[in-house]
Structure 1
Amino acid sequence: MKNKFFNSLYFNAERYRAKYNKKENHFCYNIDNMDYKENVVIVKGWGFSRDTKKPLEFELPRTEGKAICFLRKEREDVNDAYNIPKNEKLGFEIKIAAKKKRNSLNLVLKNNEGVALNIKIEKSKIGKFDNLKFMKNSLILLKNEGAREAIKRIKRQGKTIWNEYDLWIYKNEVYDLEQINGEMECFKIQPKISIVVPVYNVAEEWLRKNIESVQKQFYQNWELCLADDCSPSPHIKQVLLEYAEKDKRIKVIFRKENGHISEATNSAIELATGDYIGFMDNDDELAPAALYEYVKLINENTNAEFIYCDEDMIDMSGRRFNPFFKSSWNSKLLLGHNYITHFVVVKRDLLEKAGKLRSEVNGSQDYDFVLRATELTENIYHIPKILYHWRTIEGSVAENPEAKNYAYVSGQKALKDALERREIEGDVAIGESYGTYKINYHFHKKPFVSVIIVNRPGNEGLSTKCLQSILELTEYEAYEIIAVNFDDSTISDINGRIHFIFNNANRTFEQLRNYAVKKSVGEYLVFLDSTVKPENKQWLSELVNETIDNDTGLVGGKILDSKKQVLNAGMWFEFDTKKVHYTHRGCQADNIGYYYRLVLPQNVFAVSDECMLIKKNIFEQIDGFSENLEFPLTAIDLCLKVDGIGKKIVWTPYAEVMQMKERVEKLSEEDFDHFVKKWSEDICNDPYTNPYLINNRI
């Protein structure tokens, strides 16, 4: 048996090695995936020059459209396989504007020696296989699951076109059952988890897979409560009774009349006797480790009341795709769309306080429940693992968001009701991207804002443009400008908004900013770099708009370069590597980002001081800018001090400014060491960036 296993390994490795050897002599590359969403074609892959081991360059022929974004990505698997230094980013992602879905694309590859290669990408022929990782992980399979299961999966994979996510699954989802069983035996808390499922006319195949995915859970103290909502299909009752008779943990109820999804879910809840309640749809699947991971978290955090995880989609053939690696609890992002979705598990006490699902918001009943439940607890936890598979069936919201527009109208109502409960006045509009929302808050009196700009020597021309553009483009009326060390003779200020301050003392840039604050009269402070200019009239209104929440301490805007590409949409500092990360840097301004992260306000680790707003009393409470740091650590330091007093940092895409001249980081190793020494004991990595997205791991 083992000889057959290793022969199978060798056969597959040689088959895919032969594929790579067919590539032209100067190039080694692979196209992993070609996808289409939101009028954008996305091409992912990797490549390098065989001669120099350097990453490839790319050109898009004019006939193929306009490339709106090109990102380099780390691909450690490729580096390892071809013995290329880890600092070479061999992966890439190209985004191309397109009005309709495309199945083929022409692309020009170039190496650093000027050799060009025209290739045609055909979606139907895309494939990727890393034979070294395949062999390594197959050996893990052999050890953990035995030769029979290993060979079964190898045969299945041999018939499959692999993409980047397939390999990620293969690498990350190998379970050591012996270890897991040992852990579960040691759990001091072994709660019963009641999974509630509303059932209506679902195909028999998906209903069976749904039920069996619960039965296959490693953690066995569960009950499955299914409520049939008067389905006309006869197989529903037959299947439910069949499973209920065989497994006493499965409970079913047959409603006498159709009440739609909320009432059906509520009927299932009435059957539940568990300590925690989990919500699941009737055609989706749980990963086998799901309940084990939830109970493990409950044992580690006994106060947990609301828990959710990462998820992906699964099609009708069983192929998994579109992984959603989510942010940890992000209250601001939740007000833009339901990023939590599945798999929500709540403590029974919290469910009883929040109440059951509301039929008046059918279509977005889960969003409404999440909003209500999270208002009542701070004990919200996120498990950064793919534990839920959302079935895509033709016509479903997962497959086609436009299929159920009523769901977004219901979501709009859910948000309006949330504002009323929180006693916040505002209007809720449906966003440009499906499933998103925009809240415009009402202020009884607009707060007065002091915009502080310090002129940098050598940037006088740009600084003048900065001031003039603010005067010309700002619709918000209640503001003044504190301009430090400007030539006032070049500025036309007919409304007298600008207050010029000259200070020739030997002060640092941050000392001048702190000095200007003392001269300001605004309730809010906005710091702008002297080389930026607003890109829309609402920029200041939008910064102020996000301050309605008392939890918000500081707000930052979207920083673009002269090519309308993102420079800064939030950032964070990785203490282990002493590296500053800029989220979505290099994307076009109109790109939606990773699951709408470029088009919605959200909590972030830090924002740039090139465009940021802070309440003056908070700025004074934390003693302003630290005067012994340089950009961008000055901004990160200020954000950490705001976080330290219990206030949140918010980034908004609606306040756009363009950096006319990009600031250069002039940080030494000594600067980083000083910063790390100051903060590392109190701060961990960014909670809003999923661990699997760090360093472009997928």
Structure 2
Amino acid sequence: MKLGRFKDKLTSVITGIFRIKTKIRLKPISDLRKSGGEWISDGNDPAFLIEGNFFGGWNKISYFSQSEEYIPLKLYWDIGEGFSEKDSKVICAILPGSLKYEQFIYIPVGTINLRLDPGERELTFGLENLYFRKTTRLDVLLASFSRILKERGGGLVTFKNIINKTYRTYKTQGLKAIWRKAKSTLGIDSETSAQAYQIWIIQNQLSDEDKLKINREVEQFTYKPLISIILPVYNVDEIWLRKCIDSVINQIYPNWELCIADDASPKPHIKKVLREYSERDARIKVVFREKNGHISESSNTALSIAQGEFIGLLDNDDELTIDALYENVRLLNEHPDADMIYSDEDKISVEGERNSPFFKPDWSPDLLMTHMYVCHFGVYRTSLVKKIGGFRNGLEGSQDFDLALRVSELTHNIYHIPKILYHWRTIPESTASGPGAKNYTHYAGLKAVNDAIQRRGIDGYIEELEGYSNFYRVHYNNRIDSLVSIIIPTRDGVLLDQCLSSLTKTLLDKKYEIIIVNNGSSLRDTYLLFEKWKSILKDQLKIITVDEPFNYARINNVAVENASGELLLLLNDDIEVISSNWFDDMVGQAVREELGAVGAFLIYPDKTIQHSGLTLGLGKQRAAGDGHHNRPITDPGYFGAMLSVKNVSAVTAACLMVKKEIYLKVGGMDENLSVAYNDVDFCLKLRSESYLNIWLPYVQMIHHESKTRGDDLLSNEKLIRLNKEALYLQNKWGNILLEDPYYNPNLSLDTGYALNIEASLIK
């Protein structure tokens, strides 16, 4: 057996070195027939058996296809046990139109048969000229590097940036992280991949019928404000400048003006192009500055000629989608109080290929203090922008970040449009080509956040993140003298001693009490442990007994009745503290008037992520889940989500700090949820009272969860209970569980932060 596996692996290596290419034949075995050169599926289980030579390991599949719709292609492999769902994967797709397609795939070494299933319904398509070319892992890495370089505009500067970032990733996250990134870039094993996004684009592109419908809707708008697009220009290549201006001219919504300020560009084509456009369309207004003043002054010049009730910010090499202004005015007709609006965005290469979509959360004030996530397309009420003095000098490179921070201090009427309305051009000198392209933007952003702290009177400091430009963490200092009640339920907890030891080492000069809730312990060692810690902590330790069947919500509610602290920390007995400053960091946040629950970064002992904030509706139960669960702790997450202080809908009660006053105000925990989702329900009650919940990446603790309760999905009894409690939560909160404001509807509820390819938000 071992000799056979060695032979298969050796064959895989040798064939990969020589890049052996073989033609594949498709033999229909279920619900398929050929007619006039097309394949027709007559049922819900179409399947081909793949005939021809193939080799285990990395391969590149190529084929020609024709279709009028998107059809996933699912590969099944038989390693001697027959075909089954567990040995299958969607590897690529037939896309609408006629095209040649190539994709890297992995065939497990030892595979003896392959099956290919095109969709799961009746359909018609063309699929021919299938080839497998044997490749290697190195081919995958090189192809990924090439694609990233192309997407970011090419050039020596971009090349160096990618090399530097790859090296930083290797140093901080290891080779596995580089491999994951390579596979994701090429659409291998990843629903967030470039391939998935191209499918999403097809699903969401505007048809001619959609455009006619939008035109009719625009005519019916009762509110048609003038939108002034602010466009500072400096020395941009003619091709990108024209594409930028054309994207405004092509807007479906007609009531706009384009306010252009040329910042004394030395390239002669700039004046020629701008004069040409201004003469062609009276809505285009141009000011030619006599002296270069950089982007803040140039933007202010454009702002000075703006007559619109709202301004929109556009960079001189980027593009708006055809419906960008329509979507904003549509929102304004529904929410005329809106003062600040932002949308989702993607990047566009010099070849016009769209990539790297950023599907953003709704308004998250703490996330904005971490990085400029609102970015493009930003629309602001003109009167507010002028009230704060427009764009500030000295913030060049992050002047829009500074603007967003200052505007958000004057209004709560901030709205998010969960649609791609802006294409950010990736050329070597653009910040879109990577965080290293303009390092000065990081320091400008740092000043913007620091100034915001000063204006808001925040007693705190900023932490910069090594290796990550344009990300900042604001720590709130703990200046209060409030008692914190730390509540730890236990039942013969084998890790309780470790938990208490790690806690008390970091609490030497802190004001706290620990309440151990004994819920049915029976071991003598447990009671000896109670005595040990009582002798150490004396009056700082209370031990209360809840002699009832396990009900986590009930246990904590009883403990809160016995708590003397103004702040509560709900803590599992299998938590091990590893952040030395966790107490001050959590207290500094928890005392903020607007905050409800404060959560921590919980880590499994194998250094993977257990908790990074809960997403409503995520997972099989459609109750709540963690979008980064089981990823390595070094993974920066979706657009830096694991680096960021961020607002979330819920945090786990395995480590949750909250004011006692508001715990009681919302009625504590719902005792109908004895084991699961009581923390989700509690956080939703806080949210319904207009409190914000927050997750702190710098408060890190090890959660030895698997050593206590175990996995909820391991037994039928636990699964039945889990489903019952999920159903209770769904009946109580309804559609709120499917509409998490901090999780974009374009993202999947099956797999955290994967693309929801079926999403179609344009209709």
Shorter-chain TM-score bucket reads 0.7 to 0.9
SS of the aligned residue for 2:700 comes to strand
The alignment status of 1:561 with 2:604, answered yes or no, reads: yes
Counterpart position of 2:743:
689
Counterpart position of 1:329:
363
Do the aligned residues in 2 keep the contact of 1:54 with 1:112 (CA within 8 Å)? no
CA distance in 2, matches of 1:112, 1:501: 59
TM-score, length-scaled by structure 1? 0.79
Do the aligned residues in 1 keep the contact of 2:225 with 2:329 (CA within 8 Å)? yes
The alignment status of 1:511 with 2:554, answered yes or no, reads: yes
Counterpart position of 1:130:
none
The alignment status of 1:676 with 2:675, answered yes or no, reads: no
Do the aligned residues in 2 keep the contact of 1:312 with 1:320 (CA within 8 Å)? yes
CA distance in 2, matches of 1:563, 1:657: 13
Q: What's the offset of the Cα at 1:244? A: 0.6
Counterpart position of 1:54:
85
Return the match for 1:637 from 681, 686, 699. 681
CA distance in 2, matches of 1:388, 1:244: 23
SS of the aligned residue for 2:747 comes to helix
The alignment status of 1:274 with 2:308, answered yes or no, reads: yes
CA distance in 2, matches of 1:163, 1:614: 43
Letter in structure 1 aligned against 2:452 = A
Letter in structure 2 aligned against 1:530 = D
CA distance in 1, matches of 2:305, 2:110: 64
CA distance in 2, matches of 1:11, 1:47: 20
Do the aligned residues in 2 keep the contact of 1:28 with 1:48 (CA within 8 Å)? no
Deviation string 1:563-594 (CA, Å, 9 cap, x unpaired) is: 11112211133299643222211211121100
Q: What's the offset of the Cα at 1:223? A: 0.8
Do the aligned residues in 2 keep the contact of 1:26 with 1:49 (CA within 8 Å)? no
Return the match for 2:416 from 374, 378, 382. 382
Q: What's the offset of the Cα at 1:386? A: 0.8
Do the aligned residues in 1 keep the contact of 2:264 with 2:291 (CA within 8 Å)? yes
Change (3 A) 1:381 1:504: closer
Change (3 A) 1:337 1:535: same
Do the aligned residues in 2 keep the contact of 1:354 with 1:376 (CA within 8 Å)? no
Range with greater deviation from structure 2 (586-595 or 17-26): 17-26
SS of the aligned residue for 2:437 comes to helix
CA distance in 1, matches of 2:53, 2:566: 63
Return the match for 1:369 from 399, 403, 407. 403
After superposition, residues 395-544 of structure 1 pair within 5 angstroms as: 395-432=429-466, 433-457=468-492, 460-474=493-507, 477-485=510-518, 487-490=526-529, 491=532, 494-496=536-538, 498-503=540-545, 505-506=547-548, 508-544=551-587
Q: What's the offset of the Cα at 1:621? A: 1.3
Change (3 A) 1:75 1:178: farther
Q: What's the offset of the Cα at 1:365? A: 0.7
SS of the aligned residue for 2:421 comes to strand
Q: What's the offset of the Cα at 1:675? A: 2.2
Q: What's the offset of the Cα at 1:234? A: 1.1
Q: What's the offset of the Cα at 1:275? A: 1.8
Q: What's the offset of the Cα at 1:496? A: 4.1
CA distance in 1, matches of 2:220, 2:195: 38
SS of the aligned residue for 2:474 comes to strand
Letter in structure 2 aligned against 1:481 = I
Do the aligned residues in 2 keep the contact of 1:48 with 1:111 (CA within 8 Å)? no
Q: What's the offset of the Cα at 1:632? A: 3.0
Q: What's the offset of the Cα at 1:359? A: 0.6
After superposition, residues 244-263 of structure 1 pair within 5 angstroms as: 244-263=278-297
SS of the aligned residue for 2:495 comes to helix
Q: What's the offset of the Cα at 1:635? A: 0.4
CA distance in 2, matches of 1:30, 1:527: 51
CA distance in 2, matches of 1:376, 1:321: 34
SS of the aligned residue for 1:383 comes to strand
Do the aligned residues in 2 keep the contact of 1:528 with 1:609 (CA within 8 Å)? yes
The number of aligned residues is 601
CA distance in 1, matches of 2:575, 2:194: 45
CA RMSD of aligned residues (A): 3.6
Change (3 A) 1:565 1:282: same
Q: What's the offset of the Cα at 1:279? A: 0.7
Counterpart position of 1:135:
none
Deviation string 1:498-528 (CA, Å, 9 cap, x unpaired) is: 5141315326333222222222222211111
Do the aligned residues in 2 keep the contact of 1:28 with 1:49 (CA within 8 Å)? no
CA distance in 1, matches of 2:233, 2:588: 42
Do the aligned residues in 2 keep the contact of 1:425 with 1:441 (CA within 8 Å)? yes
Letter in structure 1 aligned against 2:541 = H
The alignment status of 1:172 with 2:207, answered yes or no, reads: no
Change (3 A) 1:373 1:573: same
Q: What's the offset of the Cα at 1:617? A: 0.9
Do the aligned residues in 2 keep the contact of 1:332 with 1:602 (CA within 8 Å)? yes
Do the aligned residues in 1 keep the contact of 2:582 with 2:699 (CA within 8 Å)? yes
Q: What's the offset of the Cα at 1:411? A: 1.2
CA distance in 2, matches of 1:670, 1:484: 26
SS of the aligned residue for 1:692 comes to coil
CA distance in 2, matches of 1:472, 1:108: 51
SS of the aligned residue for 2:258 comes to strand
CA distance in 2, matches of 1:450, 1:198: 55
Counterpart position of 1:24:
54
After superposition, residues 236-315 of structure 1 pair within 5 angstroms as: 236-315=270-349
Range with greater deviation from structure 2 (577-586 or 368-377): 577-586
CA distance in 2, matches of 1:20, 1:213: 46
Range with greater deviation from structure 2 (562-571 or 477-486): 477-486
Change (3 A) 1:299 1:476: farther
SS of the aligned residue for 1:643 comes to helix
Q: What's the offset of the Cα at 1:243? A: 0.7
Range with greater deviation from structure 2 (104-113 or 337-346): 104-113
Letter in structure 1 aligned against 2:732 = K
Do the aligned residues in 2 keep the contact of 1:56 with 1:111 (CA within 8 Å)? no
Deviation string 1:22-46 (CA, Å, 9 cap, x unpaired) is: 78388999799xxxxxxxxxxxx98
TM-score, length-scaled by structure 2? 0.72
CA distance in 2, matches of 1:31, 1:322: 24
Do the aligned residues in 2 keep the contact of 1:327 with 1:688 (CA within 8 Å)? yes
Deviation string 1:207-228 (CA, Å, 9 cap, x unpaired) is: 1111111111111211111100
User: Structure 1: 5+ residue runs without aligned partners?
Assistant: 1-8, 33-44, 58-73, 82-103, 128-160
CA distance in 1, matches of 2:111, 2:528: 49
CA distance in 1, matches of 2:417, 2:343: 5
After superposition, residues 3-152 of structure 1 pair within 5 angstroms as: 24=54, 48-49=76-77, 51-56=82-87, 109=108, 119-120=136-137, 121-122=139-140
After superposition, residues 542-691 of structure 1 pair within 5 angstroms as: 542-574=585-617, 578-662=622-706, 663=709, 664-665=711-712, 666=718, 667-680=721-734, 685-691=739-745
CA distance in 1, matches of 2:480, 2:427: 49
Change (3 A) 1:163 1:79: closer
SS of the aligned residue for 2:558 comes to helix
CA distance in 2, matches of 1:480, 1:327: 37
Counterpart position of 2:154:
none
Letter in structure 2 aligned against 1:52 = F
Letter in structure 1 aligned against 2:661 = N
Do the aligned residues in 2 keep the contact of 1:106 with 1:118 (CA within 8 Å)? no
Do the aligned residues in 2 keep the contact of 1:335 with 1:437 (CA within 8 Å)? yes
